[in-house]
Amino acid sequence: MERIILYYSDGGKTKVVAETLALNFRCDICQIRDLKKRDGFRNRLSSTLDAFRENKTEIYPPTLDLEEYDTVYIGTPIWANNPTPAIITLIDRCNLRGKDVVLFTTSNSNSESALEKMEMKIRARGARVVQQFNLNTDNKTPARIQKDTEALIVTKDLYLY
């Protein structure tokens, strides 16, 4: 079984989760970059509105060939109870037909709505969501996030996917 982890990370917490997963599974990993400027107060406000409206954005890489992978992990922080524009764009551009997908989010609280929205989009593209989780990262160090991710791997039986 071939896996890949695709993620967007703004503040670095989702990156810690993605890298911990990739290290434990010894699989490929790809960071999705949003080409729109997202830092600063005005841009943060605009980013929140983009997420709320599920606006698309320019990303790098612009497309991905996932043909060789059976399982695709997709991770994002939560903005305005939604996945980030970069991940919405990624999901819309990828051919996920026939893939098993594991979704994960990071946030300061537990928000199921972002996972539900991602799952709807994934299923509409012919993929099967086999597992999903949110990791609360509020006030956690990277070391704590790594330990919490390793615990989730066990409790969610992620080695199966």
Over residues 45-70, the pLDDT tens digits come to 666 666 666 777 889 999 899 999 99
Which of the four pLDDT bands, split at 50, 70 and 90, describes residue 39?
Answer: confident
CATH class of the structural domain 3-160: alpha beta
Give residue 50's pLDDT.
Answer: 66
In whole numbers, what is the pLDDT of the chain averaged over residues?
90
pTM of the full predicted structure? 0.91
Tokens of 57: 């954005």
Residue that has been written with the tokens 């980013």 in this structure: 47
Q: From CA 114, how far away is CA 41, in angstroms rounded?
A: 23
Give the H/E segment covering residue 116.
helix 112-124
Over residues 82-118, the pLDDT tens digits come to 899 999 999 999 999 999 999 999 998 767 789 999 9
Residue with the bigger pLDDT between 35 and 55: it is 35
10 Å Cβ neighbour count for 61? 13
